[in-house]
Structure 1
Amino acid sequence: MEPWQLTAAEAAAKLQEGTLTAEALTRSCLERCAEREPITKAFSFLDTELAISNARRVDKAYTKGVLHGLPLGVKDMIDTADMPTSHNSPIYEGLRQGRDAACVGVARGEGAVVFGKTDTVEFAAGGRRALTRNPHDPTRTPGGSSSGSGAAVADGMVPIAFGTQTGGSLIRPASFNGIYALKPTHGVVNSEGAKRYSHTLDTIGWYGRSVADLKLVAQAFRLFDLDKPLGKTVRQLRIGLCRGPNWAQAAEESQAATLLAGKRLAAAGAMVEEVELPAPFLDINEAHRVILLGEGRGAFLPEYLTHHALLHEDFRERVENSTGITAKAQVAAHDLSAECRKLFDALFPGFDAVLTPAAAGEAPVGRQDTGNPVFNSMWTLLHVPCLAIPCTKGPNGMPVGVQIIGPRYGDAALLEVAALAAPVVDAGA
């Protein structure tokens, strides 16, 4: 096995014990990039010498953090001190902020090797699409907006990568690329230094190729209650299978994957019970849309005023409020989201997690359609932690995953549920 083939957790064990160096792992990942990057196009910036230099610096460290030596992909709307942050926008092409975003600072402080910048949809919001292709089928999208991060991890170019989610930009690409992802509780990871779209919704998360990979990064961010074990076996899990208000919009393969995951868990001894969300959830997607577009007006106003001609029409329309979002609608949307958060949290501790679709179906063909976020946006608005698990394959042989969801600030317990559930759910087609 080549070092690039190791999961982050497997590599971390070797790096901690000294049988693998950061430089050796980084060089192996660079070799993988040389083979696959011309096809997958996951990176907007990748400097071989800089990556090796960063790895050598880590190898000289006096102490080893939890991410010691692990190459990390950073979504190209998150600032890095030693690399440009372009936001996939002609306005910021080649821009160097000269400092790390808070999340990059944490990762670097815990020993991660900042490897390169991964391509993204413009401003992680709309406009230009990433050049990235799905590594399972380059004619298909890897999803957006965390396009490059999801594809880079899936294709073995890095073991972990940062993404962000404002609608469905972490969990949906995980499903399309057949990997794991964690969108943590909103606000537990400092978003300073990442391009703001919606302060109510923007959430920084990460990709890996196992639940253990996700937990490593969670440890780096000191998520709440990681030191409190769940103390259960898979046979003691209580899972709520939630079709949700958007079930009819799921393709047959996504519906089948969710039901299959439930059947596999039940066969392993877990209690799986259908959950129907209360009536207020029927309007939750509209509330997300109103808040997203309402807060997006101010997010892109500076670029609208100073670089109008270079700003994509998507963002000019947001600033101009082309959809007619009103202040009254904003208040109603925020009130509904607050109500629904309480209603969802009330499902716990009756359940250990809620199981629901991760995406509407297989990855669409082409780059322009990055997939429908309808199965993600409501959970983003609820601020709850979401964890993507690969499950099966669709009619075109493409990955189709599911997600499990916990209550607000229940990230640690959700990771433990995932560690028990993933070997059952991720059992191949």
Structure 2
Amino acid sequence: MQPYELTATEASALIAAKELSCEELARSTLARIAERDPIVKAWSYVDEDLVIRRARELDKTPALSPLHGLTFGVKDVIETYDMPTQQNSALYEGHQSGQDAACVAVVRHSGALVVGKTDTVEFASGGRMAATRNPHNLAHTPGGSSSGSGAAVGDKQVQLAFGTQTGGSHIRPAAYNGIYGIKPTHGAVSREGAKLYSATLDTIGWYGRCVEDLQLVADAFQLLGRDLAQPVALKGLKVGLCRAPAWDQADGYARAALMTAARRLEAAGAIVTELVLPEPFNGLDDAQHSVMFGEGRAAFLPELLGPKRGLLHKHFLDIVNNAREITPQKLVAAYDLAAECRRAFDGLFGADLDVVLTPSCTGEPPEGYTSSGNPVFNAMWTLLHVPCVGIPVGKSPKNLPLGVQLIGPRFSDLQLLQIAHACAPAIHENNTLGTIEI
């Protein structure tokens, strides 16, 4: 096995035991990127000399945390002091702020090795699509807007990577690329230094190749509830099978993935019951759109007023010019509905419910590169501010990964990761990606 093939958790143990150097891992990673990126196109910026120099410095430094020397990709809407942050926009070509975003600073101060910037849909919103291809089937999208981060981890070009989610930009690419991802509770991780789209919705998340990888990063962020999270037994775990209001938009593969995951959990001893959300939840997808586009007007106004406004994609002109006719009344109603449903959702958990199991996408990744997929199975959860963990289930006959997500109440992130740790071996068939037929 080559070093780049190691999970973050495996590499962390070897580095701690002095059986693998940071430079060895870095060189193996860069060789994998050189081999694969010409066709997968996950990266917008990599400086090989810089990566090697940093790795050598890490080898001279006592380990700061289990993240020491592990390879990290950063979505190119998140600031890095030593690399450009171009946001896939002609307005920001070559832009370098000279500062790390808060999330990047946390992992750097923990010893992680930032390899480069991963391609993204423009401003993590719309307009220009990323150049990235799905590494499992190059004719299909890897999802977005965290396109490059999802593909880089899914193609073993990097062990860990940051993504962001305003609608479905993080969990959906996890499903499309056959990897694990966490979208934490909104506000649990600082989004300072990432391009603002919607203050109510924007959330920083990360990808890994197993739940343990996600937990390594969660530990670095010192998430709330560290003293409360406990290991979970799968036998007797109470799982709510939630088809969600958008079930009619799920293709046969999305439905098969969800029901396959449910059957596997039941076979392993979990108690799976149908969960039907109260009627007000049916309006959350529309409410999320109102909040996202309503707040997006202010976020993209500076770009519209700037001297390079002619380079701005029409998608952003429409947002700023309120083409969707978001009224003050509609925006207030969306905020109020979200507040009502957040309280109601948190209240579902307790004696009869430990975790929610629901689709993470509408099914197979779309063919072509003009769409990064439909976020309808993510947007409502983003608006609810709840933590979500994406877990692979299998692949379609086209070799396209399929996934599901586990969801808990607000600020249960660490306990949700414990639940995911218990569920993943059953859902993911001990980390093998079997083919799912419909």
TM-score by length of 2: 0.97
Pair 1:231–1:134, CA change in 2 (3 A): closer
Is residue 2:420 matched to residue 1:418?
yes
Q: Report the more deviating stretch, 184-193 or 52-61.
A: 52-61
Give the corresponding residue for 2:331: 330
Cα offset, 1:59, TM superposition: 1.7
Give the corresponding residue for 2:349: 348
Is residue 2:365 matched to residue 1:363?
yes
Q: Report the more deviating stretch, 15-24 or 101-110.
A: 15-24
Contact 1:66 1:219 in 2 (8 A): no
**CA–CA distance in 2 between the matches of 1:78 and 1:229?**
29
**CA–CA distance in 2 between the matches of 1:408 and 1:97?**
33
SS in 2 for 1:105: helix
Q: Report the more deviating stretch, 223-232 or 204-213.
A: 223-232
1:361-393: CA deviations, max 9, x gaps? 111111111100000000000000000000022
Give the corresponding residue for 1:223: 223
Pair 1:316–1:58, CA change in 2 (3 A): same
**CA–CA distance in 2 between the matches of 1:97 and 1:9?**
32
Contact 2:284 2:337 in 1 (8 A): yes
Q: Report the more deviating stretch, 336-345 or 348-357.
A: 348-357
Percent of residue pairs bearing the same amino acid type:
56
**CA–CA distance in 2 between the matches of 1:290 and 1:166?**
12
SS in 1 for 2:124: coil
Give the corresponding residue for 1:304: 304
Cα offset, 1:56, TM superposition: 1.7
Cα offset, 1:252, TM superposition: 0.7
**CA–CA distance in 2 between the matches of 1:97 and 1:209?**
31
Structure 2 stretches of 5 or more lacking a match?
none
Counterpart amino acid of residue 295 in structure 2: E
Structure 1 stretches of 5 or more lacking a match?
none
Give the corresponding residue for 2:247: 247
Give the corresponding residue for 2:410: 408
Give the corresponding residue for 2:114: 114
**CA–CA distance in 2 between the matches of 1:54 and 1:78?**
20
Is residue 2:382 matched to residue 1:391?
no
Contact 2:239 2:273 in 1 (8 A): yes
Counterpart amino acid of residue 385 in structure 1: P
Cα offset, 1:395, TM superposition: 4.0
1:183-211: CA deviations, max 9, x gaps? 00000100000000000000000000000
Contact 2:137 2:398 in 1 (8 A): no
**CA–CA distance in 2 between the matches of 1:90 and 1:392?**
38
- Root-mean-square deviation (Å): 0.9
TM-score by length of 1: 0.99
User: How many residue pairs end up in the alignment?
Assistant: 429
What is the correspondence of 1:187-266 to structure 2 with a 5 Å cutoff?
A: 187-266=187-266
**CA–CA distance in 2 between the matches of 1:396 and 1:155?**
16
Counterpart amino acid of residue 195 in structure 2: K
**CA–CA distance in 2 between the matches of 1:102 and 1:16?**
26
Cα offset, 1:172, TM superposition: 0.3
Cα offset, 1:17, TM superposition: 1.7
**CA–CA distance in 1 between the matches of 2:382 and 2:60?**
40
SS in 1 for 2:376: helix
1:280-321: CA deviations, max 9, x gaps? 011010000000000000000000000210111000110000
Cα offset, 1:159, TM superposition: 0.3
What is the correspondence of 1:95-114 to structure 2 with a 5 Å cutoff?
A: 95-114=95-114
SS in 1 for 2:123: coil
What is the correspondence of 1:35-46 to structure 2 with a 5 Å cutoff?
A: 35-46=35-46
